Amino acid sequence: EAQVTQNPRYLITVTGKKLTVTCSQNMNHEYMSWYRQDPGLGLRQIYYSMNVEVTDKGDVPEGYKVSRKEKRNFPLILESPSPNQTSLYFCASSNQGFEKLFFGSGTQLSVL
């Protein structure tokens, strides 16, 4: 089954404790992206990757890091999480161009 898998589904952490949210896709997609969803703000892009070792900033990259060492994986790293990073995070992937985005089920992060 074609899918984007994010882990964990829920995460509660404390300020300053490094964390990683994993994202994996099994569709051999070149493009992958991270979004955060906040009430009243919709989805905002954090980082995206056009292919292995190619990443670029989205609209709200501050406080986040990503890496794309393999085509299927695109982890999101918060080196020193802060409460304003409490949000619902989505990973997505697609082929190049305007093929549809496939979304993961989301990771609800709470930073205390």
User: Of 2, 41, 52, 112, which lies in the binding site for other proteins, with binding defined by CB under 8 A?
Assistant: 41
Sign of CA dihedral 20, 95, 60, 112: negative
Q: Is 27 in the site for other proteins (CB under 8 A)?
A: no
Q: Is 74 in the site for other proteins (CB under 8 A)?
A: no
User: Of 45, 67, 73, 86, which lies in the binding site for other proteins, with binding defined by CB under 8 A?
Assistant: 45
Q: Is 105 in the site for other proteins (CB under 8 A)?
A: yes
